[in-house]
Structure formats: C-alpha cells, structure tokens
Structure 1
Amino acid sequence: GVLMLLTAAVILGGIRRIAEVASALVPLMALSYLLAAGTILYLHCRELTDALHLILVSTFDPKAAAGGVMGGIVWTAIRFGVARGIFSNEAGLGSAPIAHAAARTNDPVRQGLVAMLGTFIDTLVICTLTALVILVSGLWDDGANGAVLSTAAFDAGLPGYGAYVVSLGLAVFAFTTILGWSYYGERCAEFLFGVRVIWPYRLLWIGAVPLGALGKLNLIWLVADVMNAMMALPNLIALLFLSPVVFRLSRASD
C-alpha cells in the first residue's frame, strides 16, 4: 500500500516529477553502493588478486566448458545471462530512448553517448564491483544467489552496515524502475491511442503495483522475460534499418 501511494504521488505529476524524484534518488543510491563496494574491496585488497584470478581461471577452464556442453546447460546459461543482462541495462529493448528523447538537446549523437554511459556504469562498473565483493567475501559458493547472496556478501564485508546498503539500494532501484517504466508505457499508450488514454493508464499502473509486489517471483520473472523478448525482437530489427542513419549522424559529428 505504501509503495502504491508513493508511486501515485510521483507519476500523477507527470514526467517532470518523475525526473525530479529519479534525479535525486538514483545518484544517491549509486554513490552509496559504490562507496560501500569500494570500502569492502579496500579492506579485502589481499583477497582481490585471488578473486580476479578465480574469474580468469574459471573463464578459460576447458573442464568447465566441457562440463557445460556435456550437461546441456549452455543454452540455459545463455538464456539467463541475456535475460539478467537486459534487466541490468535494458540494452536492445528500445525503452531507454523514450526517456532520452525527452531531453532538451539539438545533438542526437551526444545524447546517444549519454545513453551508452548508463549501460557502462550499470554493467561494467556496478555489476563488476558486486561480483568482486561476492568473491572476496568467500560466500560465492555457499548455494545462495541473487539479492540474498549480494546482501550476505556486503554484510560480511561491512558487518552491521552492508546489508542495509544493499536493501536500501534495491528498494530505491525498484521504486525508480516502477517510475521509469510507467513513463515508457505512457508514451507508447499515448502514441497508440492519443492523449485521452494518459490518465486511465496512470491509474491502471498504480493499481498494478500491489499485484507485482504480491505476485509469485518465478511467474513475474517468466512474464518479464517473455515481454522483454517481445520488445527486443522488433527493436533490433528496426535498429538494422536505422543503422545507416546512425552512421551518417556519427560521421557528421566528428
């Protein structure tokens, strides 16, 4: 109920209020997370070399590759890897351009570079730091996964504080994701049905928040994976046709 009320208070104010809330929460969340991860890695700098060595050895270990092929789990690993990667940065879905299209700029190439910076920070910086924290904590093979594993690793690195950093970060991330995707859907609904659909759409979105919070996690993941694939396929096809435009604008900006 609280999450629904907070969502309503923001999205009923439109894109300006969404931008104000997100611009205040997201940098604070990211900086807190990066500071906590950096502190843990500094305190465990001796284990950092072993963690990097483990990553490299596991990557090029022929036994692991052969076991994956023989066990028939390669396709499963690829599917989950791609699905979770999309959740990390939304690359290829065509969703982030909706927000970047609302930016006040006359230079599409520069705005595209800003969009790519978000993918770099999400995937290469934050995800890499998270992986290293999990490895130096020594909990990477204890059977846990997902948010439970990340929370345990941060709490082991910063006892009494790490778990709160991850929990608050996840809460802020989930809240701002709800806000961002509400705007994406609103723009698409307006394009298809006109401005008259905006307020009914916002009310339906607010009403759906408790359903997502109380639904079964496996079902939600399954629905999200299917819907993401349905967005990615037409968007990737469109990118192929638009690639000449991208190349032309990129060359013109050099």
Structure 2
Amino acid sequence: MLLEKKTRNFLNYFNKRDGCVILAATEAGLMNKLNEILSLIDGFIGGSQWFVFLLLGTGLFFTIYLKFPQFRYLGASLRIVRGKFDRAGDEGDTSHFQALTTALSGTVGTGNIAGVALAIHLGGPAALFWMLVTAMLGMTTKFVEVTLSHKYREKASDGTIAGGPMYYMKNRLNMRWLAVIFAIATIFSSFGTGNLPQINSIANSVHATFGINKLLIGGVLAVLLGFVIIGGIKRIAKVTSRLVPLMAVIYFVGALAVIFYNYENIIPSIRAIFGDVISGTSAAGGFLGASFAFAFNRGVNRGLFSNEAGQGSAPIAHAAARAHEPVSEGLVALLEPFIDTIIICTLTGLVILSSGVWTEKMENHFQDADLQILAGTYSDSNELDRSSLATYLLEEDGIALFSGELDVVDGQIKSDVTVLHARSVAENVEVLKDGKAFSGSLTVVNGHVPLEQKVDFYGRSLIHSAPLTTEAFTRSWFGDYGRYIVAVGLLLFAFSTAISWSYYGGRAVTFLFGVKGVIYYRLVYVLGFFFASFTDTTIVWTLSGITIALMTIPNLIGILMLRKEMKSEVSSFWKEYSDFFARR
C-alpha cells in the first residue's frame, strides 16, 4: 500500500493538459517540490527496506562465511597498520597509516556529527543501536571490498596507483558495464556524500556559531580545497594524516565533557538505545515517537552514510597503499567502521541523549523544506492529537494539509492551522518579511508557502542535524563555548571528507576518461562545494541517500560474486603471515 501511495504521489506531480506536461503546483516552491521528488526516489532506493536488507544481509553473510573476522583479526589489523608486515619494495603511493587516515577522513565527517543527530531526530535512540549493528557488520564488508579492490588495482598513465571496485569488476568479473555504472555512481556520490552535505553542514554550523556569512565561508574553503586536491593523493594523504588525529582529540574532549557533566543521564540513555529497539520510541517532549521499522531504516541508512561500508569508496584510497598482500590492506580497512561509527558515533549519540536536547524545542529559523502547515489545530500535549500526528509522520496519511489563504496579523497566524516543523508541532510561530512582522494573507498550497512570497517563519520546534549536536555540546562545563568545539570539529571533519572524496571521484573519472579528465572534474567539484554552502540542508541529505544507494548496489553484487575467491585469499594470507613472523 505504501509503495502504491508513493507511486501515485509521484505521478500526481505531473498533469497533462492540451497535450503538454506541466509541473503541478509550481507556486508551492522549487525547493519543496525538489525535496519531495528526491524523497520519493530515495524511498524506492536508499530509503527502501530491500536496500537495507541487502546491505545488512551482505555484511551478515560475510561475517558468518569468514567466521567473524571483525573480532578475530583486530590484533593483526593493529600490527599491520603500524608497518610490522611491510616489505622493502612494496608498490604503492601511501603507507598503511596514510591510507587509513585518508579513508577515515572520507568517512569521519558530517555523518558523525549531523548524521547521528538526524538519525536520532527521525528514529529516536533506537536508531543509534541500528547504526552500531551496521558498523559491526560493515567491518567485514569493508574488509572484503578493500581486499578485492587492492588485488586488481592498476597503474595509471601518470604512474600513480589506481584502484577501487570498478577494477575488480572489469579485470576479474569481466563486467565492464557494471564497472562503468559504479564509476558513474562514484562521481555522483562524490558530490552527494563527500561534497554537498559537508560544506552545507560547515556553513550552517559556522554561521550559527560565529555569524559569518555562508557565501564567505563557502568561498574561502573552496579555495583551500582546490589548493589541496590539485596535489593529488600524496598531498591529500599528507594533509589527512595530520588532520584526523587533531580533529579526533578536539572532538573527544568536548564529547566526554558533555557526557560526564550529565552523568545521571548516562544509564537512562544507554537503556533507551537498547530498550527501544523492538518497541520503537514513544513520544517524549516535542518528539512525537518513532516505530521499530522507522528507527531500523533510518539507523541503518545513517550508519552506512557514516562508515560507508559496502559503498566501495574506501577501497579507492586503500588501493594506493604500499602492500604486497591484498588481505593485509583489507585488515587495515577493518578498523575504519570501528573507529568511525562504534567509537565516534556512539560518543555523539550519548552526547545528544544525555544532554536531553533531542526532545526539546528550540528557537530557530524554520527551513522551508522542513515546514508544513496542517488544516486544523493539533497539540502535542493532547494524547489523541499526538497519536494522529505520529501516524501522519510515519505514513503521511490521516491529516489534511492546509491549502488556501493564511491570515497573518502582526506576524501572528490567525487561521485555524497547525504549523509543523522538523517533525514537531511548532510553538510561538512568528511570520516575518524583510525582518519585520508580516500582516496580510499568504497563499498556501498543499501545506507549503510559496518561496516567491518571501516570508520567513520563526518559532520554537525540534531541531536536527548539526544544530542539534551544537546545542548538545553547550550542556557541559564549557557552556556556550561548546558550540566552538562542534564548529571547529565539523569544519575539520567535513573539510577532510571533501578532500578524500575528491580523490575518489577523480579515480572514477580516470577509469572512465583517463587522467586528462581529472582536472575538469576537480574544477566542477570545487564549484559545487562553493554553491552547496547556501543550499537547503534537508535537500542535500535526501540527495546523499540516493547517491549512496546507486554506488553501493553494484559493489555488493560484485563482492558477493567473488565470495569464494575472497575466502581463498584469506586462507593463503594467514599462511604467509605466520611464516613472516615465525622468521623474525
């Protein structure tokens, strides 16, 4: 029924009249329509249950098939990353540690700060549990994809090492068409995962903290990004190997300060993470509740966005590592989801839950894509209304959207409506135009106010993404100075992610068009980085969900097809590994 409803909604965007196809309700605003269309596409792909089961199922299969390598091989992983298994003459462009930090800088980004906050905002504390499950299974998935990609890497025409899933698809599976699909998806994903949401979160956080203009933030960072990525993998590896440890220390100090400041909430927070897994999270404060299915789906989706296991991105960085044995680099990669999600995302989740900000309504400027106007008056303090609103948020049914003229006097809405923002009932809503209280009528179409009316909504509602994490970091001994920790941490995390993803996209361009096409890709990448600094947050997150899925599906199909070869590689590796250390 839900699939049929989504299909009907998608088709209803278009009306045929006089033989011409026209976009319905264009006055409802370009941003709203774009976000709705992207959300529908995401619902069929990355937001669908089949994608979630494919992702988790692949990780679970390899975990059992390879006999739980994420637990048995951690010691060897730490030994290899320190260079204990290296040989003189190993071919590659980076060390194991540099490959790890480059890949980590590609995953440790807004998913750890804004993504965890969004997952909890959508699915409640239980979403964090499913993020952790995704990471545990993802450790095995990443081990497999990196090993296979490293084995079939090539040397590019400029002498550098080129690798990634597209190379095992071409060289081992003889499926160049699948490799092409993956490479194209990688280019799009470099924008949807590593570029657009990163600078978007940076700009929002720095603007909220320091009041700096978003255009200025985007312009300065775009120039810095261009300077770094023009130097290729060696300069990228040098920068990320210094950035990752620095940003980890800064973030850990701030996170632990919040958690221990609110020490009385640590146990209740952990209980909520595990206790709501089956039942879902009930309404609390401004939070209207989330079902098991919703928490499961959003937690897994955000978990993949955070550690990218199965997406095929990290193998591109690890392919450049100096190693004579592909499995050894796979073991190094096994550490990534552990560090990225199990450690950093858990810290962020405990910060948000222990501080209590995830259920509190805050004064904020309403984002248009998060704003809906419902017909009739509803209150989240009324149990029946709260139940109706929760059902509407989960199923998008049962409550009518308001259409018509909205009466506003001195900034106050007089019509019989309810303003819904960030999945919560907004309070103390004020409508401004050019910074002054608005009086008059606003045309509302299907719950949305057209952008061309140029009005702004302010009030109290739940917040999500980077602003939610930023608010949580103020609930410690640092007070308002905690905002600076998030702003600086987010700046370093997200900027390093954008650096790494430029390399991933550049390698995909090299595969498709040769080395000569990389310079044009980098130019577009930097321009996109600038323009995304002032793009609506919700739309960017929705786009990222689609690009993740388009990149992940071909990679998961490929590694499943090579499961027997993977098992054989692991067996031969351990013989060499044992002999190597027996001689020392």
Q: Normalised by the size of structure 2, how large is the TM-score? A: 0.40
SS at match of 2:480: coil
Q: Deviations over 1:38-90 (max 9, x none)?
A: 233333333322222232332344785xxxxxx99655544433332122111
Mapped partners of 2:555, 2:528: distance in 1:
26
1:218 maps onto 2:538 in alignment: yes
Report the Cα offset of residue 236 of structure 1. 0.5
Mapped partners of 2:279, 2:351: distance in 1:
22
SS at match of 1:59: coil
Partner of 2:479: 159
Q: Deviations over 1:75-117 (max 9, x none)?
A: 5544433332122111111011000110111232221122121
Query: Structure 2: where are the runs of 5+ without partners?
Result: 1-218, 283-288, 361-461, 575-584
Query: Structure 1: where are the runs of 5+ without partners?
Result: 65-70
Mean Cα deviation higher: 50-59 or 221-230: 50-59
The residue correspondences of 1:57-136 to structure 2 (distance < 5 A) are 57-61=275-279, 76-136=294-354
Mapped partners of 1:21, 1:177: distance in 2:
12
In the superposition, relative to structure 1, how do residues 62 and 102 fare at CA in structure 2: closer, same or farther (>3 Å)? closer
Mapped partners of 2:339, 2:295: distance in 1:
23
Between structure 1 and structure 2, the one with the greater Rg is: 2
1:48 maps onto 2:367 in alignment: no
User: Do the aligned residues in 1 keep the contact of 2:261 with 2:475 (CA within 8 Å)?
Assistant: no
More strand as a share of residues: 2
Mapped partners of 1:102, 1:188: distance in 2:
14
Partner of 1:147: 466
Counterpart residue type for residue 238 of structure 1: G
Mapped partners of 1:193, 1:127: distance in 2:
37
2:252 corresponds, among 30, 34, 44, to 34
Mean Cα deviation higher: 91-100 or 72-81: 72-81
User: Do the aligned residues in 1 keep the contact of 2:259 with 2:351 (CA within 8 Å)?
Assistant: yes
In the superposition, relative to structure 1, how do residues 117 and 196 fare at CA in structure 2: closer, same or farther (>3 Å)? same
SS at match of 1:155: coil
Partner of 1:68: none
More helix as a share of residues: 1
Partner of 1:234: 554
Report the Cα offset of residue 160 of structure 1. 3.2
Mean Cα deviation higher: 40-49 or 177-186: 40-49
Mapped partners of 1:205, 1:62: distance in 2:
40
Mapped partners of 2:354, 2:281: distance in 1:
24
In the superposition, relative to structure 1, how do residues 191 and 97 fare at CA in structure 2: closer, same or farther (>3 Å)? same
User: Do the aligned residues in 1 keep the contact of 2:281 with 2:291 (CA within 8 Å)?
Assistant: no
Q: Deviations over 1:174-224 (max 9, x none)?
A: 211111111001111111111211222222222221122222222222222
SS at match of 2:486: helix
In the superposition, relative to structure 1, how do residues 161 and 232 fare at CA in structure 2: closer, same or farther (>3 Å)? same
SS at match of 1:82: helix
Counterpart residue type for residue 85 of structure 1: G
Mapped partners of 2:233, 2:245: distance in 1:
18
Aligned length: 248
